[in-house]
Amino acid sequence: MQEVVVEGPEVDIVEKIKKVRSKDENIVRIVEEMKKAGVKELQGNEWQIEGELVLKEGKVYVPKDEELRTEVIWLHHDVPAVGHGGK
For 59-72, the pLDDT digits (tens) are 888 888 889 888 88
Q: Could you give the CA distance from residue 10 to residue 14 in angstroms, rounded to a whole number?
A: 6
What pLDDT is attached to residue 1?
Answer: 47
Domain encompassing residue 33 = 13-77
In a domain, 1, yes or no: no
In a domain, 19, yes or no: yes
- How many domains does one find in the chain? 1
Taking the whole predicted model, whether its pTM rises above 0.75 is answered as no
Is residue 84 a part of any domain in this protein?
Answer: no
Q: Is residue 8 part of a domain?
A: no
**Tens digits of residue pLDDT in 22-65:** 888 888 888 898 889 888 888 777 899 888 888 888 888 888 88
Q: Is residue 87 part of a domain?
A: no
55, β-bridge pairs: 48, 60
Tell me whether residue 42 is in a domain.
yes
Strand partners, 50: 53
